[in-house]
Every structure is written in C-alpha cells, then in structure tokens.
Structure 1
Amino acid sequence: MKKRTVKQELFYLFSMELLSALIFWVVYSMWAAAEPGGGKVAIVYPLFVLTVILVQGSLYWLNCLRRLKKQKALDEQRIARIYQAFKFIDYGLLGAYILVLLFTKSFSIVGVLIWLFAIIELINYFHYRLSYYTKSGLGLQIIKPLKLLITGTAVKSQIAREILSVQKGK
C-alpha cells in the first residue's frame, strides 16, 4: 500500500472526520425511524456532542491543509486560542450529559457509548494522539495507544502541541 503524502493525509483526515459525523446521523436516523421511541435525548445529545467534536477536528485538519498549500488559513496563535475555547466548551457539553441523564430520567446504553466515544475523540484531539494505523494501513490499533496512555509515553496531539507552543510563547 502506497503511503499518502502530507497533503493527502490532511485531506483524508478532514474529509473522514466530516463524513463520520454525517454517517453517525444517517445511521441514527435510520435506527430512530425503525425503533419505537428511538428519538431519545439520551442518544441525540451525546451524538450532537460527538458531531461537534468531529466537526472541530475536521475544520482543524482543513486549516492545516490550507496552511500547507499556502492558502488563506488561520495562523497558529489564532487556532490555539479558538481550540482552547473549543476544549472548554467540549468539556462543558460532555459534563452536561450527566445532567441530561439525571433530569430527563432517560438512560440509554447506546447514548452512554456514544458519550464515551466523544470523550475518546476529545482526548485524541486535545490531549494525546490515540489513532495509530496498523502496518498494512487498513485499520487502527487499539492496544498500542492504551499502552502508551497507561505508561505515560503517549505523544501529545497536534492541537495540544499548538496550544502549548502558543502558551509558552506568551
């Protein structure tokens, strides 16, 4: 399998994050249409939060691609400030899910799993890189990122590095 160039990889990351968000909603819509009472806030809310995080990631990769192509793009300082705000908002949205569950008295295992996936995506974007491809490039590794997190040797994510570099430059 031929390795992608940096431009191809950035376009792939941008488009796949956006496509993933869209696919989640399509699958949810199909499930909700077939499931009586499927439109529960216990599922819709974490799906909304996951979508917000995926779109943020997609826009980040698009900005990186535009930078690489020397097109109009946000500079590192502006991106760092925006994504610091996104991180704060995302934590609030994720925390609010607990309130949603308590006040709506609506619980869904699917909703909790989507919420956990949103937390993993938040960690992947704003803290540590969790996505590592297999040698064939056909799938993602699961054990390696967990081992790196547990041993404290995980690599900071691209967004986390940008935020840190701007904070150190203050």
Structure 2
Amino acid sequence: MSVLIKRLLNLALGELAASVSFVVVYHLYADWGGSSQLALYFLVFQLLQGAAYWIYRARTIGREPSPVARGILTLMRRGNLISAVIAVPWIVTLAESRTDMAAGFLIYAFAVIEYVNYYWYRLSYGKSGFNMAMLLRAGLRPSSIHKLLQRG
C-alpha cells in the first residue's frame, strides 16, 4: 500500500474516530438538550462526509474522479449549505436552556468550520491538523474537494 493511500485512509479513520468519540462523550457527559444534539449530529454528518471522501480518494488514486462523484459532491456541498442555514432557527427553537443553546451554537460553529474545511478552503495544516501560524503564513488555499470540483 502506498504512503499516500495510507495517509488518506488515516484521515478517514480520524474522521470516523472523531465522529464516534463526539457522540459517545456527548451522551455520557453533556446531554444538554435538543439544540446541542441537533448541532452535534450536523457536525457528525460533516465528519462522516469527510471520512467517505478520503476513502473514495484513496480508492481512486491515479484516476480522475467520475462525473457521478463530482455530482454527488456538488449536491452535498449545496445541501450542507442549505442545512447550515436551516439549522440556526432550529437551534434556537429546540433549546431547552441557555446552556443547551450556547453549546448548540458552539458545536454548530465547529460543524460550519468543518464544512468550510472540506468543501471550500483548507483550514488544517501541519501534523496536528490545525496550526494557526501555518494557516496565516500560507493563506487560504482551496480544499481538496473544491479543487476536484473546479477541474470538472
């Protein structure tokens, strides 16, 4: 297995592990209510899309992605944007307490950052994933999905 394939599969595994970890930790320690739960599942949905994308890319190394894959990614990018807009009033409506709403909006913000990171701009640099100094030095660069969609 090539180094690049291993790296892509490690990215996918990291997204899957993060998804499971967030859900388990939330339900064990921080089940604040409907608002934060909605935001959590929006975040998990973003992470699972990231995992699926990295697995797909690992399987298609050296080949141009299919028009069907491009179409799905385009639909997902648009659908996620619509979901992000619709989620805001629902986070307010479903809030069971101020803590629930605050947690909901914090988790939601993280989900939106993940959406931007996957579909628009690469926000993670360095070995740790997020390195603000490297991001400021490198500037915003198109994400892998964004570049793939631009080619098609």
TM-score range, shorter chain: 0.7 to 0.9
| TM-score under structure 1 length normalisation | 0.78
Greater radius of gyration (CA) = 1
Where 1:68 maps in the other structure, the secondary structure is: coil
Paired residue for 1:46?
Answer: 39
Mapped contact 1:17–1:54 kept (Cα < 8 A)? yes
Paired residue for 1:98?
Answer: 88
Q: Deviations over 1:22-43 (max 9, x none)?
A: 11001001114xxxxx351111
Question: Which of 74, 77, 80 is the equivalent residue of 2:67?
Answer: 77
Mapped contact 1:46–1:94 kept (Cα < 8 A)? no
Q: Deviations over 1:85-135 (max 9, x none)?
A: 1111111221122111343354422211110011110110111111101xx
Matched, 1:15 2:1: no
- State how 1:92-131 maps to structure 2 within 5 Å: 92-106=82-96, 107=98, 108-131=101-124
> Runs of 5+ in structure 1 lacking a partner?
33-37
Task: Give distance in 1, aligned partners of 2:132 and 2:86.
Answer: 28
Where 2:147 maps in the other structure, the secondary structure is: helix
Q: Which has the higher contact order (CA 8 A, sep 6+)?
A: 2
Kindly provide the amino acid, as one letter, of the partner of residue 109 in structure 1.
A
Mapped contact 1:53–1:118 kept (Cα < 8 A)? yes
Task: Give distance in 2, aligned partners of 1:88 and 1:161.
Answer: 16
Deviates more, 1:16-25 or 1:93-102: 93-102
| TM-score under structure 2 length normalisation | 0.86
More helix by share: 2
**Aligned-CA RMSD value:** 2.2
